Structure 1
Amino acid sequence: MTSQISKTHIAKDPDWWRGAVIYQIYPRSYQDSNGDGIGDLLGIVRRIPHVASLGVDAIWISPFFTSPMRDFGYDVSDYCDVDPMFGSLADFDAVIETAHSFGIKVLIDLVLSHTSDQHPWFKESRASKDNDKANWYVWADAKPDGTPPNNWLSIFGGSSWQWDTTRCQYYLHNFLTEQPDLNFHEPQVQQALLDVSQFWLDRGVDGFRLDTINFYTHDAELRDNPALAEEDRNPITAPAVNPYTWQDHLYDKTRPENLIFLAKLRSLMNGYNAAAVGEIGDDQRGLEILGEYTRGDEHIHMSYAFELLSGKMPTAAYVEEVMNKVDEVAGDGWACWAFSNHDVPRHISRWNLGDSAARCFTTLMMCLRGSVCLYQGEELGLPEADLRFEDLQDPYGIRFWPAFKGRDGCRTPMVWDEANHHAGFSDAFTTWLPVSGEHLKLSVASSEANPGSLLHHYRKAIAFRHAHSSLRTGAMDRVTVIGNTIAFTRKSGDETVFCAFNLSDDPCAIDPPAGKWHAVGGELNSAHAGPDGKVHLGPWQPCILLKQ
């Protein structure tokens, strides 16, 4: 079924995604509706009112497709059905209808670069070298000594080639061995994936989050990646203990043919006024790729890189570097900023933020040019959960423990009400990951009852962004640094907003811009004018001025 609500909803504004605030839901951990200890689609339906109360424009739902769950849904065995763990297609229709009734768009997470090794396509492909799908995956002969075809490495560790005893060939897997890579050089593969996209667009989705968007196409010649000198390694997309960071990944991803497929996908989405946000993982050229992939109106609408998802503390100097690099290489494109998601430690812990710093960075995000992705629980200020090894589920963390603890610490269940069993997440005896005891005091119920909570700050910051067209879609001049303070101006039509943020524990004073200005933002704006004519900012305080 395709609901009429969905059809009329997406037809309103084809540019709705520009400046949008998108809330990511990791369905396993959001709300369990049937008491099995695992979140599901009807759980999302139940909690849509909370999402709507934040004032966000859209939700992004991580994979819920049929899957063996070796990588928790990012290993798809059926692109066009719901895994029974999460419910049914009818339950997904209920998500669409409920979200749309609250004015919220729905993006789903499409994993197009690879499938599960249990997908019927792969089972047929591995059966022989001459069947109809023999070329649907990346197969290659061994070197004469039996070793893999080249030096490419998996982001989950070890060679990205796995020997198959049926075909007596290697197949490519950029992630787990159970996640074989599709061969985008095969036109039938591209068409099959476009058909998958259309299936969900016809069902009423408003767009997609595209997993590992720059991994789609590989070098057809299978050339070795060059090594990186130790001083040139930049471990953003993988931990430093993973030798994946030792290569310059020129040939196993980010190939020019990617843009050809993205143009086809964009053309399909245009017919539905749908939009997509891509995930770009590259330690050396992430922002350049973002610019290339989102420039103009032929490729993807928006993408996020890992510069603000990394472990590097965003000092004033670093924020200036990142934003001005975006202006240089992606000024004609569109970024989507995120501090946290399901793949990285929560930013409260990653950057060791106190309450004032967390509020400052939230306000900063809402003032940046681009769109925004928030991750469930971020609005509560949840820190990274500290799990025991025996509680881990993530194969990535199990592989590299204890130097890298994996992704489970950011995936623990949402805390709704500390007075309820498992904080209101589930009625089950046990949950798929334990509820963090440290999170209980930050539950939605506790945060709602506290007028000074971070939850209420998020609502005010999102509302402030929506109230000013310059912050949603306006131009942004170059970021400048004054001590530990960054400053920039946003402009749209007749509206000009000046923004400054003190990203340090020390108070500071800055000269206000020339002209007549007045403070806006209410409680978000904690700066004050001093008798010296300067604007004085306390530790982690913003200054937001509207030009008169």
Structure 2
Amino acid sequence: MRWWQTGVIYEVFLRSFADASGDGVGDVQGVIQRLPYLEWLGVDVIWLSPLYPSPMRDSGYDVTDLCDVHPALGTLADMDQLLKEAHGRGLRVVLDLVINHTSAEHPWFQRSRSSREDPYRNWYIWRDPAPDGGAPNNWQSVTGGSAWSFDEHTGQYYLHSFLPFQPDLNWREPQVREAVHDVVRFWLDRGVDGFRIDMVDFLVKDADFRDEPPNLDYDPSPDKPWYSSWYQNQHIYSSNHPDCHGAIKELRALIDSYGDRVAIGELDFHTPLADQLTYFGDDDELHLPFNFGLVPLPFTAEALRSYIDEYDTKIGQHWPNYTLGNHDLPRIASRFGEHGARLAALLLLTLRGTPTLYYGDELGMTNVTVPPEQIQDPWEDRQPGSGRDPARSPMPWDGGHHAGFSTVEPWLPLGPNRQHHVAAQAQDPASPLTLYRRLLTLRRSSRALVGGEYRSIAAPDGCFAYLRETPDESMLVALNLTDRETELSLNPRPPARVLLSTRTDLPERGPISGTSLHLAAWEGVVVHVGTPARPEPWPDLAAPATPREPAT
């Protein structure tokens, strides 16, 4: 198996992870200082949010130079040091590659908008106004409103699938593709292990710029503020265009030419499963098209089982992956509550495939209230209630001033429960951090959890249970997603042993007598069933991990 199949990806939102320079903003040196923690935690792959030079109007997703590091975040020498030290600890590093658009301040766009005759004009997407003088077509921006902005100087509209200061590159222009390929070579030559490609399903648009048909199921209800106007149309011309696949194949071929690297791609959260699976290609496109299928689901046994069974079946020979949180989503603990967040951790780290975790979720971090004067996210201005700042608060490392994140006031406010920091949770056998660490240790030690087959099994109402099996090892995972106790038949499969429970407030359990498993309300467990032939002793993870301070 490849490292990106066996490993666990951990997203570091760079500005909020650790500040080494003392300016209130996280940076590359901060990540270097916290590498011992990531190694101690047990993750394998660090995904860094954009670190490039940028006006930082959208947390770095508005790039002005893809071959450098923002001065507030570090230097190229810092990145070289991070790669060297991370690799020395067995950690891989993946960069966030923003190539659907640039900042409007990028030199390419400044040249492009300077004149219709400039050689860079076709590097971006320009169109004449409609006959009435309005936008060229009905395409919508993901952030709300038209995807077109008028440029007075040249008398044409430019396309921006996201914010107006993020003009889309024209991927039908060969010079654009080659320029991006040069960027990819630049970072691969420096030793990065691959890329998470931002909004990869937006790269190529319809060449005829046809109007998109209306979405007859459009629901502008206030509980869906991010997508209220975006989803008024079916996006068959401005995203998920068939021609995206050719561009991705070129990128994959280039990445593969460097050996054991990975290509991960972000897709729209609501991409239908059938369309999502096409981004594997014939194993010549993305290694991992990010699977957000669990995100919009109700957190119920029935919904989870139905989706996971379908996904695992339809993915065929390709490798699955799952995530429940990232920098664009409300925090898991705010969505599901304390017990639900523990069950989500168990689910993510025991399903077949590559899991992706978001920094701080291992602490049970919740959304943070951001006062209006401290709001950073421009999405909040365009669609009130859609801002993503609450899920991007700084990581609390200790009980000191500014929670050990910085020596000055951080760029976003810290959470209210500052006592739930890394240093305290590392010493607490019942903490979310201890649970995550035990889960990661268990996953790493189990052939079944890393590479075994997945098969859901019959379970009581409100309970989701599945087996992870190799020829010599069998693990049962059971999640009770109800507020009542329940019993799960082992069918009969003694001897069995509970290795881990999400309910650390309950008495410890070990060997199971009888043929049924008792589950408390909102409890998830991992059970070793059968007697696998293992050359080494099975780790005793039924007992709490010995508390110790993570190396820092």
What is the TM-score with the length of structure 1 in the denominator? 0.91
Structure-2 change in CA distance of 1:400 and 1:216 (3 Å): same
Deviations along 1:183-224, whole A, 9 cap, x unmatched?
Answer: 111122112111111110110101111111111111111111
CA offset at residue 265 of structure 1?
A: 1.4
Deviations along 1:75-98, whole A, 9 cap, x unmatched?
Answer: 110000001010110011111112
Q: 2:334 aligns with which of 334, 346, 349?
A: 349
Structure 1 unaligned runs (5+)? 1-12
Letter in 2 for 1:263: K
Would you say 1:425 and 2:424 are equivalent positions? no
Letter in 2 for 1:409: P
1: CA distance, partners of 2:18 / 2:7: 24
Would you say 1:191 and 2:172 are equivalent positions? no
Q: Indicate conservation of the 8 Å contact 1:291/1:331, yes or no.
A: no
Structure-2 change in CA distance of 1:130 and 1:481 (3 Å): farther
Q: Indicate conservation of the 8 Å contact 1:327/1:478, yes or no.
A: no
CA offset at residue 283 of structure 1?
A: 2.2
Q: Indicate conservation of the 8 Å contact 1:262/1:299, yes or no.
A: yes
Q: Indicate conservation of the 8 Å contact 1:234/1:245, yes or no.
A: no
Would you say 1:134 and 2:134 are equivalent positions? no
Deviations along 1:394-439, whole A, 9 cap, x unmatched?
Answer: 01113222xx151000111111112x221111112x321122223x
Structure-2 change in CA distance of 1:483 and 1:497 (3 Å): same
Q: 1:412 aligns with which of 384, 389, 393?
A: 393
Letter in 1 for 2:392: R
Q: Which residue of structure 1 aligns with residue 42 of structure 2?
A: 55
Q: Which residue of structure 2 aligns with residue 325 of structure 1?
A: 310
Q: 1:203 aligns with which of 170, 187, 190?
A: 190
Q: Which residue of structure 1 aligns with residue 239 of structure 2?
A: 253
Q: Which residue of structure 1 aligns with residue 461 of structure 2?
A: 483
2: CA distance, partners of 1:126 / 1:240: 29
- Farther off after superposition, 301-310 or 252-261: 301-310
Structure-2 change in CA distance of 1:192 and 1:240 (3 Å): closer
Letter in 2 for 1:43: G
Q: Which residue of structure 1 aligns with residue 524 of structure 2?
A: 542
Letter in 1 for 2:344: F
2: CA distance, partners of 1:342 / 1:361: 17
Secondary structure of 2:365's match? coil
Would you say 1:145 and 2:123 are equivalent positions? no
Would you say 1:64 and 2:51 are equivalent positions? yes
CA offset at residue 475 of structure 1?
A: 2.1
Secondary structure of 1:250's match? coil
Q: Which residue of structure 1 aligns with residue 535 of structure 2?
A: none
Letter in 2 for 1:421: H
Structure-2 change in CA distance of 1:435 and 1:530 (3 Å): closer
Question: Identity rate of aligned residues, in percent?
Answer: 38
1: CA distance, partners of 2:168 / 2:15: 25
1: CA distance, partners of 2:354 / 2:441: 14
Q: 2:367 aligns with which of 366, 381, 384?
A: 384
Structure-2 change in CA distance of 1:491 and 1:146 (3 Å): same
Secondary structure of 2:25's match? coil
Alignment of 1:262-273 (within 5 A): 262-270=248-256, 271-273=258-260
CA offset at residue 242 of structure 1?
A: 2.5
Structure-2 change in CA distance of 1:452 and 1:152 (3 Å): same
Alignment of 1:459-474 (within 5 A): 459-474=437-452
Q: 2:357 aligns with which of 374, 377, 381?
A: 374
Letter in 2 for 1:51: L
Q: 1:400 aligns with which of 375, 383, 386?
A: 383
Structure 2 unaligned runs (5+)? 532-552
Structure-2 change in CA distance of 1:172 and 1:509 (3 Å): same
Q: Which residue of structure 2 aligns with residue 497 of structure 1?
A: 475
Q: Which residue of structure 2 aligns with residue 521 of structure 1?
A: 499
Alignment of 1:71-220 (within 5 A): 71-220=58-207
Report the aligned-residue RMSD: 2.2
Letter in 1 for 2:93: V
CA offset at residue 519 of structure 1?
A: 2.0
CA offset at residue 21 of structure 1?
A: 0.5
Structure-2 change in CA distance of 1:57 and 1:378 (3 Å): same
2: CA distance, partners of 1:527 / 1:536: 10
Q: Indicate conservation of the 8 Å contact 2:148/2:159, yes or no.
A: yes
Structure-2 change in CA distance of 1:528 and 1:447 (3 Å): closer
Q: Which residue of structure 1 aligns with residue 541 of structure 2?
A: none
Letter in 2 for 1:447: Q
Structure-2 change in CA distance of 1:532 and 1:93 (3 Å): closer
Would you say 1:298 and 2:284 are equivalent positions? yes
Q: Indicate conservation of the 8 Å contact 1:296/1:333, yes or no.
A: no
Secondary structure of 1:34's match? coil
Secondary structure of 1:385's match? coil
Q: Indicate conservation of the 8 Å contact 2:498/2:512, yes or no.
A: no
1: CA distance, partners of 2:301 / 2:406: 41
Deviations along 1:253-305, whole A, 9 cap, x unmatched?
Answer: 011111112111111222231012211114251x2233111254211111223
What is the TM-score with the length of structure 2 in the denominator? 0.90
Letter in 1 for 2:125: V
CA offset at residue 499 of structure 1?
A: 2.1
1: CA distance, partners of 2:278 / 2:472: 30
Letter in 2 for 1:463: T
CA offset at residue 532 of structure 1?
A: 7.0
Deviations along 1:147-199, whole A, 9 cap, x unmatched?
Answer: 11111111111100011122211111011111001111112211211111111
Q: Which residue of structure 2 aligns with residue 8 of structure 1?
A: none
